[in-house]
């Protein structure tokens, strides 16, 4: 479906957010400028971009450009078993919470971590995540930040996230207030799940959808599986179905486009954003805007 050109002030882009991973080779200043020029009103900011200039300068740059921060990426990696690893992880996550607060980011995306080297006890790793979320949740609440638990595709279970389904993430969030611990619905990671419609509905009823992130699932899987994300409409994900479930769950927040893809990173960033906004209007926005039956 063709769409007319969009740009600054286009109300159809009001919920769109550029995750800075999509323009990995841009500095924070370039991402801010690119988003403004493309009419994208929000950024999902990675901590490496913030570290370029310092958190207070980053907050000022984004605010002065008239943008908002939809999320800070990322906290997490909480599965270490040794005391030193535990202390380092908690310290880093406390720092991430403080950074999110300064940036005005309500949501801190949490990639919880995989199995430590030589560890085969998946259940124990998940218990450690639960224990550390319980330690961090009161700190997040004190700063007005929500820990947004992100379930990752099962192929990342060993190295990045022992949470593989939205249901697992919701179970981990359940002991905590919904405004303190929520979940991320990332199409790349959850599109395959036969229980996804039920999980999104539950997340909506519990008020726990903290972020809706979109990109497409590409084949063949890249040699580095992390780089198998693609532009919406180029792969296999049914954005109509997933977007409809997110809409029916009552989510009305920002929609982040987060793409890890070497070809997209190598392309001209402004051309990438032009394609991104078109694909958002063609594939992502329509089911979100459609009146539920």
pLDDT at 1: 39
pTM of the model: 0.95
Residue range 25-67, pLDDT digits in tens? 999 999 999 999 999 999 999 999 999 999 999 999 999 999 9
Domain 11-289, what fold?
Answer: TIM Barrel (3.20.20)
Residue range 256-286, pLDDT digits in tens? 999 999 999 999 999 999 999 999 999 999 9
Going by C-beta distance under 8 Å and a sequence separation of 6 or more, which residues neighbour residue 208? Answer: 170, 173, 178, 181, 182, 183
Domain ranges of the chain: 11-289
230 DSSP β-pair partners: 216
Do you know the residue count of the chain?
293
pLDDT at 2: 41
Check whether 9 has a pLDDT greater than 90: no
Residue range 217-248, pLDDT digits in tens? 999 999 999 999 999 999 999 999 999 999 99
Alpha carbon distance 184, 200 (integer Å): 10
Asked whether the beta carbons of 20 and 256 are under 8 A apart, the reply is no
Closest to 64 (Cα-Cα) out of 35, 24, 97, 44:
35
Closest to 214 (Cα-Cα) out of 250, 255, 251, 184:
255
Asked whether the beta carbons of 174 and 140 are under 8 A apart, the reply is no
Residue range 104-138, pLDDT digits in tens? 999 999 999 999 999 999 999 999 999 999 999 99
pLDDT at 40: 98
Q: What percent of the chain has pLDDT over 90?
A: 95
Going by C-beta distance under 8 Å and a sequence separation of 6 or more, which residues neighbour residue 210? Answer: 71, 106, 107, 146, 148, 182, 183, 184, 253
């Amino acid at each position: 479906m063709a769409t007319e050109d969009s740009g600054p002030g286009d109300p159809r882009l009001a919920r769109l957010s550029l995750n800075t991973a999509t323009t990995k080779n841009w500095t924070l200043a370039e991402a801010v400028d690119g988003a403004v020029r493309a009419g994208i009103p929000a950024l999902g900011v990675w901590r490496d971009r913030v570290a370029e200039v310092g958190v207070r300068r980053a907050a000022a740059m984004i605010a002065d450009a008239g943008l908002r921060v939809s999320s800070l990426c990322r906290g997490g990696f909480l599965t270490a078993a040794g005391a030193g690893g535990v202390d380092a992880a908690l310290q880093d996550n406390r720092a991430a919470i403080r950074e999110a607060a300064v940036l005005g980011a309500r949501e801190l995306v949490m990639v919880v971590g995989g199995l430590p080297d030589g560890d085969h006890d998946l259940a124990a790793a998940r218990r450690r995540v639960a224990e550390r979320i319980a330690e961090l949740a009161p700190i997040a609440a004190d700063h007005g930040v929500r820990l947004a638990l992100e379930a990752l595709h099962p192929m990342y279970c060993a190295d990045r996230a022992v949470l593989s389904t939205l249901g697992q993430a919701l179970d981990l969030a359940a002991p905590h207030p919904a405004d303190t611990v929520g979940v991320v619905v990332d199409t790349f990671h959850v599109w395959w799940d036969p229980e996804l419609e039920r999980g999104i509905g539950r997340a909506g009823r519990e008020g726990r959808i903290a972020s809706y992130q979109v990109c497409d699932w590409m084949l063949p899987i890249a040699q580095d599986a992390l780089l198998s994300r693609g532009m919406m409409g180029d792969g296999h994900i049914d954005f109509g179905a997933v977007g409809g479930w997110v809409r029916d769950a009552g989510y009305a927040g920002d929609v982040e486009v987060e793409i890890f893809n070497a070809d997209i990173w190598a392309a001209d960033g402004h051309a990438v954003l032009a394609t991104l906004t078109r694909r958002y209007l063609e594939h992502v926005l329509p089911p979100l805007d459609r009146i539920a039956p």
